Amino acid sequence: MFQIDPWERAAECERALQAEVDSTHREILTDVRDLWIGLANTRSLLPGSQFDEQVETINRIHAELIKPEGACGMLRGTSADRAQSRVWH
């Protein structure tokens, strides 16, 4: 199974932030970047399955925001907001 590196995902958000002009998208990208950083910092404290669940949730949001080449994507509805509210609960 492919292991996602939270630090790399945070860096992708940071690169997308540098190119983003829309203030709403910038706020969301900042929040997602901070989620990745928080997850990376608490990785050793979370049981493997809980860490994997958090990665899956944050990665869904990430995928909605950032295209594979790192350019900012369009948000689709409010699923990113709903998913973000479930993270860390």
Residue from 72, 48, 78, 70 nearest 86 by CA? 78
Among 87, 68, 56, 54, residue whose Cα is nearest residue 16:
68
Look at the alpha carbons of 32, 66, 76, 74 in this order and tell me if their dihedral is positive or negative.
positive
Residue 1 has a pLDDT of 45
Query: What's the pLDDT score for residue 82?
Result: 41
- Whole-model pTM above 0.85? no
pLDDT at 13: 94
Q: Return the bridge partners of 72, or none.
A: 66
Distance of alpha carbon 58 from alpha carbon 88, whole angstroms? 10
**Residue 89 CB contacts under 8 Å (≥ 6 apart), including other chains:** none
Quick one: pLDDT at residue 68?
61
pLDDT digits (tens, 9 = 90+) for 9-67: 999 999 999 999 999 999 999 999 999 999 999 998 988 899 999 999 999 999 988 86
> Which pLDDT score, from 0 to 100, does residue 56 have?
94
